[in-house]
A and B are shown apart, each in its own frame.
Chain A
Amino acid sequence: MASDAPLLEIDSLFKAFGGVRAIEDVTFSIQPKTITGLIGPNGAGKTTLFNLITGIFPADSGTIRLKGQPVNGKAVHDLVKMGIARTFQNVELFSSMSVLENILVGLHSRTTCGLLGSVLKTPRIRNEERMARQKASELLEFVGLSDHADRKSGNLPFGWQRLLELARALASEPDLILLDEPAAGLNMSETDMLGELIQNIRKQGVTVLLVEHDMALTMRVCDQIIVLDRGRKIAEGPPRVVQSDEAVMAAYLGKPK
């Protein structure tokens, strides 16, 4: 793949719920190893767009391509295998399971052991399990939760739960990771740490697409910003350009056009 071929291409995407046009003719592309911010007022269609990209529901029309491959209509778990991972706006951990186990579930798409394998416990399966645990420990170290591997994930403080969810998403070795308001509910120092972490994720070769209301964070970490308003893309470009865009100001502040 040439370095300038986009990782994600979205072409004239439409999605309506009943009479409400949630996404209307949205087109953009994301270059590999970049951080893209998706912003817009409440109800602009950001989360809908996330759900379309991750296959939660299908688009009415238009195409989504990952590494040139169309992903429309594929099941959620197949998209994970193709390289799309995500986190949720309201952290969705497996709360009865330990921190380490959460990451091990995250490795599901990169491991193979089935029912029969788990019963027979062949050397190959034992080896796979050992590798998975090794990888999970590394990921815990990456987000700084190594000391809490055996704690029940539901008992972690909220900020750590966000980090754990991030590590769990990274476990599937994604090319593209979608973060839905990763800074929501975090305090300032936690948000700073998160910003650093997002940049470290990019350094590892993972492309990031994030929805975020914390403008300071978005402007600081993103290479590119896409602005949605009422389902339409109204601006796109580097943070500085978008910040001074008149349509964006109007969407946010209600200034007459």
Chain B
Amino acid sequence: MIRTDTHTIACIVFAAAALATGILIDDAYYLQVLIFIGINTLLALSLNMLMGYAGQISLGHAAFYGIGAYTTAILSTTYNLSPWLALPIAIFAAVTVAYIVGIPTLRLTGYYLGMGTLGFGMIVSIIFREWYSVTGGASGFVGIPPLEIGSFSFDTDQRYFFLVWGVVLFFFIICRRIVDSRVGRALRAIHDGEHAAAAVGVNTAAMKLSIFVLSAAMASLAGFLYAHQVFFISPETFSFLASIRIVTMVVIGGMASIWGSLLGASLLTLLPEWLHAFADYEMMVYGLVLMLVMIFLPQGLTRGIIDLYEKSRKNRNK
């Protein structure tokens, strides 16, 4: 119960910080970066529920991100549908695909599940690139409209910032509640030992499928938010490399940690921005930073920071 209380406090502090940031920061560049951190946090959180808590790896998560983005792009641009109507359809599309893909794929475990989801991600990414008449192919999809409620438009970065971070906060609360419940315990039990989980009465197949579907829905929502922020989407954003980047966010931030998703997404979004200075060596430094984090903080940033803090406190008490 104490944990829930700290989480409530953390959420309030976080909401206040986001609010202050949104009001105080006036620079378009920083706001943009913060919006991308928000979208990536939602993505990382979606995968963390599946991978960090339930222990089911997905190397094709960008597919759901892309399904969200492309569905809303096609419906709201090609068919002039309101984005708010496109949103439930985009989520429904991701949920349906997750359901169909999940039933056979989630029977696999470990590396095999990784390979299965990897294949799925590649197929979807090829569809985005090759279905030229619908998706615009490799050159991308242009002219996605901004989000509007009545006459209020989320056309400034500041407004979009609040929308994205409002959604992130909402999902922090939802995911925390799931993690702390009977469902969350069953997921962690599956992670620790699937046979044992079944032997104490957990319907492991159904449980894995439902978290996969939830995860896909969240990734699809992130895709929706992304599409209406950048107005232009192209297949590379949802490629195999994007899937790996989401996995990296989860691992670097901290598996099975809601706040870890925020840290991992922040680091992986900011790092390329900071590393521009290294020019040609950018990717090398990027890789080096990730290696160092994994070597010195193998449990990810969240656990690592908590451990460092506790160690320093112990040293002070000596």
Interface residues of A (CB under 8 A from B): 54, 56, 75-77, 80-81, 85-86, 88, 92-97, 101, 104-106, 108-109, 111, 113-115, 117-119, 121, 125, 128-129, 132, 168-169, 171-172
Contacts and interface: CB of A to CB of B under 8 A. Distances in A.
B183 A114 contact: yes
A15 B164 CA distance: 57
B201 A109 contact: yes
Contact of B199 (A88, A121, A125, A129): A88
B199 A94 contact: no
Interface in B157-210: 174, 177-178, 180-186, 188-189, 191-193, 195-204, 210
- What are the 9 A-B residue pairs with the smallest beta carbon separation, nearest first? A109-B201, A118-B181, A80-B201, A92-B196, A94-B192, A113-B182, A76-B198, A105-B189, A77-B203
B182 A172 contact: no
Contacts of A111: 182
30 contacts: A54-B199, A75-B198, A77-B198, A81-B201, A85-B199, A85-B200, A86-B199, A88-B196, A92-B193, A92-B199, A93-B192, A93-B196, A94-B188, A94-B196, A95-B193, A96-B188, A105-B185, A105-B186, A106-B201, A108-B189, A108-B202, A113-B181, A114-B183, A115-B210, A118-B178, A118-B180, A118-B183, A125-B181, A128-B182, A132-B182
Contact of B201 (A108, A113, A132): A108
A72 B188 CA distance: 29
Given A96-B192, A108-B182, A129-B182, A118 B199 contact: no
Given A97-B189, A115-B210, A119-B177, A77 B204 contact: yes
A172 B199 CA distance: 10
Contacts of B144: none
Contacts of B199: 54, 76, 80, 85-86, 88, 92
Given A76-B198, A97-B192, A104 B185 contact: yes
Interface string B57-88: 00000000000000000000000000000000
Nearest to A120: B177
Nearest to A106: B200
Contact of A97 (B178, B181, B185, B201): B185
Nearest to A172: B201
A113 B193 CA distance: 21
Contact of B200 (A75, A80, A95): A80
A59 to B, nearest CB: 18
Nearest to B178: A118
B35 interface: no
Contacts of B182: 104, 108, 111, 113, 118, 128-129, 132
B258 interface: no
B169 to A, nearest CB: 14
Interface of B: 174, 177-178, 180-186, 188-189, 191-193, 195-204, 210, 214
Given A113-B182, A118-B177, A97 B202 contact: no
Contacts of A77: 198, 201-204
A121 B210 CA distance: 18
Contact of A129 (B181, B201, B204): B181
A181 B205 CA distance: 28
Contacts of B184: 118
B183 A115 contact: yes
Please indicate which of the listed interface residues B184, B195, B202, B204 has the most CB atoms of chain A within 10 Å of its own CB: B202
Nearest to A76: B198
Name, among B181, B191, B193, B202, the residue most crowded by chain A CB atoms within 10 Å (CB to CB): B181
A118 B191 CA distance: 19
B88 to A, nearest CB: 17
Given A75-B203, A96-B191, 19 more contacts: A77-B201, A77-B202, A88-B196, A92-B199, A95-B193, A97-B189, A101-B185, A105-B189, A105-B197, A105-B200, A113-B182, A114-B183, A115-B178, A118-B177, A118-B184, A119-B174, A129-B181, A169-B200, A172-B201
Contacts of B183: 113-115, 118
Contacts of B192: 93-97
A20 B201 CA distance: 30
A171 B185 contact: no
A196 to B, nearest CB: 24
Contact of B177 (A86, A121, A168): A121
A38 to B, nearest CB: 18
A101 to B, nearest CB: 6
Nearest to A132: B182
B212 to A, nearest CB: 12
Contacts of B189: 94, 97, 105, 108
A171 B189 CA distance: 15
A168 B200 contact: yes
B131 to A, nearest CB: 33
A111 B191 CA distance: 20
